[in-house]
């Protein structure tokens, strides 16, 4: 009986922000725990057994799975900013500004998650939908409701998606029907959710709770201070919030916290800005805030679709500047805050927004390339989530979070047709720019097939 699994065929992954590696004949060996034990380059098919033997492996104990013609293997996508409750409101409120959009569209929708049955129905569809789109790791905002947040965590674990799951903290400046009743309740429900996730996944193999003050506007100072104390006591927990998303939001924030002149100092004061922080949007940044993010090693969740359609102030975030300064950057779909929940669409919109910024900066901020956008969706996102030692590419020692991409025949969908003389770079570019979930044949998380049919492995 095979004890290991090997995948043979073309792989494409990022080694650094601008370093795309294409390996036409790769052999990846994965152990029973879903960890990559080796990546061997340029192995001719007739030498697979020899390659396994050179790794001190018995070929009889390795199940070798050959990718079919036209298939390539890429790392799973990382979604660094995702509002799971908004799965049911996608596409609504386009063109509205952030605070009005929250009051009229989002808060009424999220309030429905007080009903556990409704939460289970929506979250079941949500997790399935994102896995189908190749998102193997998501950083989820839940609703304010503890029970619904636990259901989301349960479903992620059951379906095999790697995830950060956070109960959303909101104690003020939202409708009475949708907020935490007291500061104490907000913090206690957070602690309950932390305990639940640790109980169902005690080794944190797939899940972690993420501390989730929605934004400073929605949190009393005591809630922010309490979350900062929880963060101090739990150095393994990530933190996520919205940061400098829109001028309307920033003005309201400074009005509530007049002792600060910027959001970086505000969140740092409460112990919520540091290496573990995932900051969504970051559209309007001063040089000082840029420097603080770099010094504290905080990460940016770039949400180009929502930034340009709803809630984000219709701004192209300074991604080239982030990359130039060495600030961690990944991509977020933002789920309901835009026209698409696809990370492929987020990659394309990131490139469009960056090229627009190149024009307005008179060429100083160069537009993103396709490999750079791919980096944001994979290794960059892993770095933002402090998971780059575990996922993001196919380096030995990392988990096998992977997508089998089909580009020919029944797998081709409506992407640009692949021609016989196309090299792998051309096929890759055609998929990134014109492919969709129909090209995602199989999805693996920690070595487990979570979407697709095993029969499709040749």
Work out the percent of the chain whose per-residue pLDDT is above 70: 98
**pLDDT for 230 beyond 80:** yes
Q: Please count the other Cβ atoms lying within 10 Å of the Cβ belonging to residue 55.
A: 15
Condensed to tens digits (0 to 9), the pLDDT of residues 56-72 reads 999 999 999 999 999 99
CA distance 103 to 106: 6
Model confidence at 30, pLDDT cuts 50, 70, 90, reads very high
Model confidence at 339, pLDDT cuts 50, 70, 90, reads confident
**pLDDT for 411 beyond 50:** yes
Model confidence at 379, pLDDT cuts 50, 70, 90, reads very high
Averaged pLDDT, 369-388: 98
**pLDDT for 283 beyond 60:** yes
Q: What are phi and psi of 26, to 5 degrees?
A: -105, 150
Averaged pLDDT, 219-239: 98
Model confidence at 288, pLDDT cuts 50, 70, 90, reads very high
**pLDDT for 307 beyond 50:** yes
pLDDT of amino acid 313: 53
pLDDT of amino acid 7: 98
Least confident of 133-142, 288-297, 332-341, 415-424: 332-341
Q: Please count the other Cβ atoms lying within 10 Å of the Cβ belonging to residue 410.
A: 9
Work out the percent of the chain whose per-residue pLDDT is above 90: 89
Report the mean per-residue pLDDT for the chain: 95
Model confidence at 6, pLDDT cuts 50, 70, 90, reads very high
Provide the residue count of the chain: 458
Averaged pLDDT, 353-381: 93
**pLDDT for 327 beyond 60:** yes
Model confidence at 99, pLDDT cuts 50, 70, 90, reads confident
pLDDT of amino acid 337: 75
CA distance 341 to 371: 20
- Within 8 A by CB and 6+ apart from 407, the residues are 70, 71, 72, 415, 418, 427, 430, 431, 435, 439
pLDDT of amino acid 458: 44
Model confidence at 124, pLDDT cuts 50, 70, 90, reads very high
**pLDDT for 166 beyond 70:** yes
pLDDT of amino acid 311: 54
Which of residues 132 and 357 earns the better pLDDT score?
Answer: 132
Model confidence at 81, pLDDT cuts 50, 70, 90, reads very high
pTM: 0.97
CA distance 151 to 404: 29
Q: Map tokens 């192209």 to a residue.
A: 316
- Contact predicate 268/242, CB 8 Å: no
Which of residues 371 and 249 earns the better pLDDT score?
Answer: 371
**pLDDT for 269 beyond 80:** yes
Condensed to tens digits (0 to 9), the pLDDT of residues 192-223 reads 999 999 999 999 999 999 999 999 999 999 99
Any idea of the CA torsion for 294, 194, 256, 86, to the nearest 10 degrees?
Answer: 90
Averaged pLDDT, 227-244: 97
**pLDDT for 457 beyond 50:** no
pLDDT of amino acid 310: 73
Sign of the four-CA dihedral 130, 133, 134, 135 = negative
Q: Map tokens 């789920």 to a residue.
A: 335
Condensed to tens digits (0 to 9), the pLDDT of residues 32-48 reads 999 999 999 999 999 99
**pLDDT for 224 beyond 80:** yes
Model confidence at 98, pLDDT cuts 50, 70, 90, reads confident
**pLDDT for 302 beyond 60:** yes
Kindly write down the DSSP assignment for every residue of 354-394, as one continuous string.
Answer: HHHHHHHTTTSSPPPPHHHHHHHHTHHHHHHTT-TTTSSS-
- Contact predicate 244/201, CB 8 Å: no
Helix or strand holding residue 119 (H, E): helix 116-132
pLDDT of amino acid 314: 61
- 444 strand-pairing partners: 402, 449
**pLDDT for 315 beyond 80:** no
Which of residues 100 and 275 earns the better pLDDT score?
Answer: 275
């Amino acid at each position: 009986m095979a004890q290991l699994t090997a995948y043979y065929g073309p792989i494409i992954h990022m080694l650094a922000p601008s370093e795309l590696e294409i390996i036409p004949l790769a052999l990846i060996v994965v152990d029973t725990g879903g960890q990559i034990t080796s990546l061997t380059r340029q192995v001719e098919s007739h030498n697979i057994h020899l390659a396994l033997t050179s790794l001190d492996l018995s070929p009889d104990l390795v199940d070798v799975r050959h990718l079919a013609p036209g298939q390539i293997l890429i790392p799973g996508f990382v979604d660094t900013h995702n509002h799971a409750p908004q799965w049911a409101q996608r596409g609504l409120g386009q063109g509205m500004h952030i605070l009005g959009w929250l009051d009229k569209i989002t808060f009424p929708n999220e309030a429905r998650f007080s009903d556990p049955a409704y939460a289970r129905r929506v979250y079941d569809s949500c997790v399935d939908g994102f896995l189908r789109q190749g998102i193997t790791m998501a950083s989820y905002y839940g609703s304010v409701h503890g029970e619904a947040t636990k259901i989301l965590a349960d479903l992620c674990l059951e379906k095999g998606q790697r995830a950060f799951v956070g109960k959303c903290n909101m104690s003020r400046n939202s409708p009475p029907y949708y907020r935490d009743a007291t500061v104490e309740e907000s913090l206690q429900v957070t602690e309950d959710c932390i305990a639940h996730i640790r109980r169902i996944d005690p080794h944190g193999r797939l899940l972690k709770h993420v501390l989730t003050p929605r934004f400073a506007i929605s949190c009393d100072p005591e809630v922010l201070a309490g979350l900062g104390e929880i963060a101090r006591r739990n150095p393994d927990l990530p933190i996520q919030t919205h940061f400098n998303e829109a001028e309307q939001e920033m003005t309201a924030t400074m009005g509530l916290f007049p002792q600060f002149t910027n959001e970086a100092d505000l969140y740092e004061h409460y112990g919520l800005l540091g290496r573990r922080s995932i900051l969504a949007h970051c559209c309007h940044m001063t040089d000082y805030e840029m420097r603080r993010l770099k010094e504290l090693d905080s990460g940016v969740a770039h949400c180009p679709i929502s930034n340009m359609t709803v809630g984000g102030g219709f701004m192209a975030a300074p991604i080239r500047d982030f990359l130039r300064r060495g600030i961690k950057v990944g991509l977020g779909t933002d789920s309901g805050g835009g026209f698409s929940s696809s990370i492929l669409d987020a990659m394309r919109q990131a490139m469009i927004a960056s090229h627009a910024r190149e024009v307005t900066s008179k060429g100083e901020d160069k537009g993103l390339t396709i490999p750079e956008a791919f980096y944001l969706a994979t290794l960059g996102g892993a770095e933002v989530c402090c998971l780059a030692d575990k996922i993001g590419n196919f380096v030995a020692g990392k988990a096998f979070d992977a997508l089998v991409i089909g580009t020919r025949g029944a797998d081709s969908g409506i992407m640009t047709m692949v021609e016989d003389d196309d090299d792998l770079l051309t096929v890759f570019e055609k998929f990134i720019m014109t492919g969709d979930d129909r090209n995602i044949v199989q999805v693996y998380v920690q070595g487990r097939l979570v979407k697709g049919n095993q029969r499709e492995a040749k």
